[in-house]
Amino acid sequence: MPKTASGVLIPGKLSPLRAVPKSITRPEYVGNLAPSPHVGGDRYSDSEILRIRKSSKIAAQALEMVLGFVKPGVSTDELDRIGHDFIVGQGGYPSTLGYRGFPKSLCSSVNEVICHGIPDDTVLEDGDLVNIDISAYFDGMHGDTNGTVVVGSGSQEVIDLVKRTEEATMRGIKAALPGREVNIIGRAIESYAKRFGYGVVQEFTGHGVGSSFHTGLIIPHYDAPEFSTKIELGMVFTVEPMLTLGTREWDMWEDDWTVTTKDKKYTAQFEHTILITQDGPEILTVP
């Protein structure tokens, strides 16, 4: 995603597909146009949760490592290589690689890219903002996480956006208590984001995760009473709000993946995979 003279991102050049050793188990969707329908619901047994904990930890460690390499002069393709090599080195499979044809092992969303940016030869510059979304498949389970950082020294406006987006994520997670409806999560996020005049993207949501990368469960990040699924003990899903400095409206690139703000203002996102316990939500995507 190089930039035009006006600073707007445009598609860059992709490197060849990265190899995964044959000894590593692939998710069932690799090589297919789409994943098989999810079966089994969104609640998991204790033994299944142990496996989700492992995949979530691998994803969290990968995110921590990749973000540690973010600096001016580094390409998003290089960040993809770092994340790929880490997950594969742990015996895992990068969940995004081959998911509905996605060609890389993580998503790198820079500046106005809301989500699903494809790593390429774009070189990060001082003051950029980059979100890394990375997921790991291990022992039959997926763990999914992302985080946003400012490259070098950014403006106070951008620094505040990142900090407040993380806070909005945590407020959404804390609202996810057993017996409530999932819409409480979006209500907590949107009410906080509105204090600062941020846009809250609605069309890209949190989701059930575990034995499937996306189970079909929708977790809204805005006040949406129509999403009334009850939060139950043993459920596993993601919370991953996307906040913008301007409009919540968006455009899609021709690659059918890269989503950018319509007004090309900066946007940030954080994501955790969480487990619902008797004591409330537990974040699984911790290093």
> What average pLDDT score do residues 149-170 get?
97
With H, G, I as helix, E, B as strand and everything else as coil, classify residue 139.
Answer: coil
Distance CA 199, CA 139 (A): 38
The residue to which tokens 């059918």 are assigned: 256
pLDDT of 97 > 90? The answer is yes
The predicted-structure confidence for 175-232, as pLDDT tens digits, reads as follows 999 999 999 999 999 999 999 999 999 999 999 999 999 999 999 999 999 999 999 9
The predicted-structure confidence for 102-134, as pLDDT tens digits, reads as follows 999 999 999 999 999 999 999 999 999 999 999
> What average pLDDT score do residues 41-45 get?
97
Confidence of residue 94 (pLDDT cuts 50, 70, 90): very high
How much is the pLDDT for 1? 56
How much is the pLDDT for 5? 60
**Which phi and psi angles does 80 have, rounded to 5°?**
-65, -40
Q: Residue 264 CA to chain centroid, in angstroms? A: 20
> What average pLDDT score do residues 265-285 get?
97
The predicted-structure confidence for 263-274, as pLDDT tens digits, reads as follows 999 999 999 999
Show the tokens assigned to 42: 């969104």
How much is the pLDDT for 180? 98
pTM for the whole structure: 0.96
How much is the pLDDT for 58? 98
> What average pLDDT score do residues 80-92 get?
98
> What average pLDDT score do residues 135-148 get?
98
Distance CA 258, CA 117 (A): 5
pLDDT of 7 > 90? The answer is no
Q: Average pLDDT of the chain?
A: 97
The predicted-structure confidence for 11-22, as pLDDT tens digits, reads as follows 999 999 999 999
| Segment holding 113, helix H or strand E | strand 113-115
